[in-house]
């Protein structure tokens, strides 16, 4: 039998435990497909009880300090499943690469913040660097972009990249419950963290979107170029109005290539109920690409969890075993080029806006006058009976307009005496 391919694992939490289980349970399958046995020779976790809970054999070296493991292990590849953009995860990565070890991670925050430098170091050292599990869990989107779509120029990539947000928006639509109530329920079920900011404010989606954008467009990973919005401001009323208008609300990461540059942004948007991605519900993720030769491609699956994420990690291990590594950012480091950024203010598209207004005559006329002054044209309008407070919701959709003009109009409208709260604006994307 061929010599085994040796791996060391930092972090035996949910995903790390899943990787250990998969390597054991699928040992024979992996041997047949990879041509070499894959052997876990070391693992690190502060909770030493995890070794026994997972039934790891005595042959697996036990460490409570992942840095020490990274410095001492003889493994061919070191796997980091601890998380965090900096700190111990980053230290382990640098140690592995500088030692000439292959490196695999599910850490989207670290890739989003340090991916360019890490890609350069991995290339310099000539070692494998895998991060399939960093974006969309079990969906093989990194491999698809780097390999399956290698012959295509990608013009557009967008997707549902955060299961927590998708679950909340789905339950709000299905039950009519308000955001705060559904968020609390999601926390009890374990779908949302005690501090959910990372998810519901769009940061997690932004990390994944900037990685996908870099791969799709051959550019550096750059969080700085992005506009990021979350879902805190989405109300149950907006969900209901979207349904009435033939839309569904989803939090999307959206990347587009234009003649004059690229845009990468995260925001909730209304998409037609006829769109494929409108029916991706619950904790599922989806990514859609548009390639000049292949056309429209859609990838759907579980974006998190022990088994789907472990599956993605082990796919990277298999690539390392068989020397199937691709350039970290799809192209050699010298070919990665910064592209001009098209700001979100330049977007031209349709919009939904909810105004909370006083129930009196002349309100629509005042709002319409300001919109007209900014060259924003009303496409439709809905008005409902008085809400819980001393106001009524006035719903408008706008024809295709420039975002800077829409924002300028809303800023002026917000200061009208008849407008009670800040207007709620949601972009419409006809995907």
Which residues are marked as active site?
Answer: 208
- Let me know: does 118 contact 93? Beta carbons within 8 Å: yes
DSSP 63-131: ES-HHHHHHH---SEEEE-S--SSHHHHHHHHHHHHTT-EEEE--HHHHHHHHHHHHHHHHHHT--EE-
The number of angstroms, rounded, from the C-alpha of 234 to the middle of its chain's C-alpha atoms is 19
Running DSSP on this structure, what letter comes out for residue 334? G
> Which tokens is 187 given?
């926390």
Please, are residues 113 and 223 in contact by the beta-carbon 8 Å criterion?
A: yes
Lookup: tokens for 382: 């809905």
- For tokens 């209901």, the residue is 240
Question: What residues have CB less than 8 Å from 170, skipping those under 6 apart?
Answer: 281, 282
Radius of gyration for the alpha carbons in the chain, expressed in angstroms and rounded: 24
Report d(CA 321, CA 314) in Å as an integer: 10
Q: Is the dihedral of CA 113, 119, 121, 127 positive or negative?
A: positive
């Amino acid at each position: 039998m061929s010599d085994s391919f040796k791996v060391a694992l930092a972090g035996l939490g949910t995903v790390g435990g899943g990787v250990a289980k998969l390597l054991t349970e699928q040992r024979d399958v992996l041997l047949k497909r990879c041509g070499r046995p894959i052997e876990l020779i070391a693992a690190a976790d502060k909770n030493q009880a995890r070794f026994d809970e997972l039934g790891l054999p005595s042959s697996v070296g036990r460490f409570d300090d992942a840095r020490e493991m990274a410095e001492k292990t003889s493994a061919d590849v070191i796997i980091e499943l601890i998380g965090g953009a900096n700190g111990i995860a980053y230290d382990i990565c640098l140690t592995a690469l500088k030692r000439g070890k292959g490196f695999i991670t599910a850490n989207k925050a670290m890739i989003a913040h340090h991916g360019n430098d890490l890609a350069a170091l991995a290339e310099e050292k000539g070692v494998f660097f895998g991060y399939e599990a960093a974006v969309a869990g079990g969906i093989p989107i990194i491999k698809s972009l780097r390999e399956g779509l290698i012959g295509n120029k990608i013009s557009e990539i967008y997707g549902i990249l955060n299961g927590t947000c998708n679950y909340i928006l789905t339950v709000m639509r299905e039950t009519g419950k308000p955001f705060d109530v559904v968020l609390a329920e999601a926390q009890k079920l374990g779908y949302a963290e005690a501090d959910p900011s990372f998810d519901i404010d769009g940061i997690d989606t932004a990390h994944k979107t900037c990685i996908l954008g870099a791969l799709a467009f051959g550019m550096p990973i750059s969080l700085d170029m992005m506009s990021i919005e979350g879902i805190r401001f989405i109300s149950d009323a907006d969900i209901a109005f979207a349904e009435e208008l033939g839309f569904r609300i989803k939090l999307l990461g959206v990347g587009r290539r234009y003649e004059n540059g690229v845009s990468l942004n995260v925001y909730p948007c209304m998409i037609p109920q006829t769109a494929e991605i409108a029916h991706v519900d619950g904790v599922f993720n989806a990514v859609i690409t548009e390639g000049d030769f292949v056309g429209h491609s859609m990838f759907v699956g579980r974006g998190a969890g022990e088994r789907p994420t472990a599956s993605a990690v082990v796919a990277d291990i298999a690539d390392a075993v068989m020397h199937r590594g691709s350039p970290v950012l799809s192209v050699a480091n010298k070919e990665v080029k910064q592209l001009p950024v098209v700001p979100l203010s330049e977007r031209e598209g349709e919009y939904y806006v909810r105004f909370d207004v006083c129930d009196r005559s002349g309100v629509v006329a005042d709002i319409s006058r300001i919109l007209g002054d900014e060259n924003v044209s009303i496409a439709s309008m809905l008005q409902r009976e008085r809400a819980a407070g001393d106001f009524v919701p006035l719903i408008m959709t706008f024809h295709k307009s420039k975002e800077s003009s829409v924002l300028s109009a809303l800023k002026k409208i917000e200061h009208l005496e008849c407008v009670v709260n800040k207007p709620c604006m949601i972009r419409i994307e006809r995907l």
